[in-house]
Amino acid sequence: MNLTITFRSRSFPPLENEDDLLINEGTYGLALLRWLQVELAHHNVQVNEPVAEDFGWFAYLRSGKSSGGLSCLTAVVDGWQKCQIGVDIRGSWLRRFFASQEAQAELAAVESTLRAVLECHTDVHQLRIDKT
């Protein structure tokens, strides 16, 4: 169960020295992931320390009985950061098979929390959330 969230902002520019940590040039997102780490903690969603990956930044998350991954990528386009957040919620295969409604409810709760956090930010524009 996955979510892809996209929006534009000017609030999450590349951090100082972030270039030194990137795997691929221009794959920023650490500022966004660190901000989400703090904001989601207020809603009982735990986000581990971010690590650089090929296309942005990644951290494990835990919400209720579910865990998964959170990835962030920002690219500067025309003075804006084009932001993308990927959420992949997983449980054990047994839990997904027998408790799929519960897992879907937990994904919906994470989606709702992310939507609320992003909508409260005054510099998040053109917010779009897609389920895949």
Residue ranges of the domains in the chain?
A: 2-131
What is the structure's pLDDT at 66?
A: 79
pLDDT at 92 over 70: no
- In this prediction, residues 47-66 reach a mean pLDDT of 90
Q: How many CB atoms lie within 10 A of CB 89?
A: 25
110/74 Cα distance (integer angstroms): 21
What is the structure's pLDDT at 97?
A: 60
Q: What is the pTM of this model?
A: 0.88
> Most confidently modeled of 10-14, 31-35, 101-105?
31-35
What is the structure's pLDDT at 64?
A: 80
Q: Take residue 119 and report the two structure tokens written for it.
A: 């909508």
DSSP-based three-state secondary structure for 63: strand
In contact, 8 and 125? CB cutoff 8 Å: yes
What is the structure's pLDDT at 23?
A: 84
- In the chain, the amino acid numbered 68 is G
Q: Which of 18-32, 40-54, 69-83, 118-132 has the lowest mean pLDDT?
A: 18-32
67/79 Cα distance (integer angstroms): 35
What confidence tier does 91 reach under pLDDT thresholds 50, 70, 90? low
74/86 Cα distance (integer angstroms): 12
- pLDDT tens digits along 101-117: 776 777 788 899 999 99
What confidence tier does 122 reach under pLDDT thresholds 50, 70, 90? very high
Phi, psi dihedrals of residue 29, rounded to the nearest 5°:
145, -5
Find tokens 């389920």 and name the residue.
131
DSSP-based three-state secondary structure for 19: helix
Q: Domain 2-131 belongs to what topology?
A: TATA-Binding Protein (3.30.310)
